[in-house]
Amino acid sequence: MSLDLGTFPIDLNQYKSISLDSTVNTLTAEQRDALKANIQLCRDALVFFTATGAARGVGGHTGGPYDTVPEVMILDALFKSQPDSYIPIFFDEAGHRVGTQYLMATLAGDLPAEQLMQYRAANSKLPGHPELGLTPGVKFSSGRLGHMWPYVNGVALANPGKIAFCLGSDGSQQEGNDAEAARLAVAQHINVKLIIDDNDVTIAGNPSKYLGGYSVKKTLEGHGLKVVECDGEDIDALYACICEAVNTPGPIAVIAKRPMCPGIVGLEGSNHGHDVISVKAAITYLESKGHQSAADILKNTVAPKNEYQFLGASAKWGSNRNVFGEAMVGVLNGMSETERKNSILVVDSDLEGSCGLSQIRTACPEIFISGGIQERGNLSAAAGFGMEPGKQGVFATFSAFWKCAFPKSPWHG
């Protein structure tokens, strides 16, 4: 099948069809070369079309989908080689990595390549997280970290004799829901295979720094899960681990260790790679890979300007979250450090920059905890701190994730 690329500047018709048999856990030179070519092609395409989001001012995510390309390429080859053995869906716990879904839908012929250049544009049907029923070729919805593995457990139970894969991340694995999913998978011997991108990066920083003691491997092993670990950038090692997962009955996790954004100058290993790549970095990357016309499209894209004149408002723009953070800091500055420590605790769930909590961390680090991506536990810790009169816990997250904190609350269904 030849894809109609329209004006998409990277030749996705170069994508190679690869046959892989999971009973053979080594790659021939030809298979390895083809996989590496597909990985490069898809990483380049992801950098380009996510960067169009940066250029148009709508943001997005580059690093997550870029990182997981090697395992997605291997899975695609397995799905196509033995279609009856697998549920051929790239279920992903980390919905922000939606670029993967759009790219694979395009390669499957479900989505025109040109449309990728509208990634995250209003009404483009390419939102920042996968929406089942909205985008052609997208096969599930995802967005709340830690909600996919439990769901995939059910998918696997509904399809006896088939193997279900779930792409995971060191961020989503912090969620309590995944602990519940792990216990169910082990107890019911569910045929689910996790492939976890362990890049030690989330939005606010590095789990190894803010969540000392957290280990994806030890956590999963503690639930009784078999875990194999490899360098995710070593294609032979990754393939061998995925074959082991396929050939091991029941649940198993493959942990793919890699730095965030391997090979992208300026972003490798950095938590800035979590968000969308900057236009400048994308141009440098694409030019270094010989994709001059893709780089030129980015150079010539102009972000739309808001031409409205707002009456009755000053020229200064603000946001509720930042006003909240600044107001909190104003109150906290009126207290002594000892007073603050005795009476206030602020617990963040990896969204400090998006909830106004980073202002508090900067001004008063002594009362701030980076609690990891685990809203339920963090909210309760803040509540417990405020149990006695005179003490106040502070917790903030997006409203969509309050549901994680109160999964059965009367207010949230």
- Residues within the interface to ligand TPP (CB under 6 A): 63-64, 94, 96, 143-146, 169-172, 197, 199, 201-203, 274, 350-351, 373, 401, 404
Choice between 9 and 348, CB closer to ligand TPP = 348
How many Cβ atoms are within 10 Å of 260's Cβ, its own excluded?
A: 24
Q: Give Cα 21 to chain centroid, integer Å.
A: 28
- Shortest gap between Cβ of 181 and ligand TPP (angstroms)? 14
Choice between 9 and 99, CB closer to ligand TPP = 99
- Shortest gap between Cβ of 341 and ligand TPP (angstroms)? 27
Choice between 274 and 340, CB closer to ligand TPP = 274
- Shortest gap between Cβ of 207 and ligand TPP (angstroms)? 8
Whether the Cβ atoms of residue 373 and residue 96 lie closer than 8 Å to each other: no
Buried b (16+ CB within 10 A) or exposed e, 332-347: beeeeeeebeebbbbb
- Shortest gap between Cβ of 372 and ligand TPP (angstroms)? 9
- Shortest gap between Cβ of 88 and ligand TPP (angstroms)? 23
Q: Is 348 helix (H, G, I), strand (E, B) or coil?
A: strand
- Shortest gap between Cβ of 381 and ligand TPP (angstroms)? 16
How many Cβ atoms are within 10 Å of 28's Cβ, its own excluded?
A: 10
Instruction: Report the distance separating Cα 405 and Cα 1, nearest Å.
Output: 46
Residue located via tokens 């300026």:
266
CA distances from 376 to 62, 361, 397, 413 (A): 28, 21, 11, 16
Choice between 115 and 142, CB closer to ligand TPP = 142
The 3-state secondary structure of 259-279 reads CCCCCCCCCCCCHHHHCCCCH
Instruction: Report the distance separating Cα 150 and Cα 180, nearest Å.
Output: 8
Choice between 289 and 403, CB closer to ligand TPP = 403
Token readout for 278 is 């900057």
- Shortest gap between Cβ of 73 and ligand TPP (angstroms)? 18
- Shortest gap between Cβ of 10 and ligand TPP (angstroms)? 22
Choice between 168 and 393, CB closer to ligand TPP = 168
Residue located via tokens 């250049």:
117
> What sign has the CA pseudo-torsion 310, 312, 318, 321?
negative
Residue with the CB atom nearest ligand TPP in the bound state: 171
Choice between 109 and 269, CB closer to ligand TPP = 269
- Shortest gap between Cβ of 397 and ligand TPP (angstroms)? 6
Token readout for 279 is 């236009």
Choice between 22 and 169, CB closer to ligand TPP = 169
Token readout for 332 is 């906290």
Q: How far apart are the first and last CA of the chain?
A: 46
Choice between 44 and 375, CB closer to ligand TPP = 375
- Shortest gap between Cβ of 93 and ligand TPP (angstroms)? 7
Choice between 9 and 63, CB closer to ligand TPP = 63
Whether the Cβ atoms of residue 376 and residue 347 lie closer than 8 Å to each other: no
- Shortest gap between Cβ of 401 and ligand TPP (angstroms)? 4
CA distances from 80 to 19, 137, 156, 233 (A): 7, 16, 19, 22
Choice between 20 and 42, CB closer to ligand TPP = 42
Q: Among 194, 106, 211, 96, which Cα is nearest to 153's?
A: 194
Whether the Cβ atoms of residue 197 and residue 64 lie closer than 8 Å to each other: yes
Token readout for 384 is 């417990």
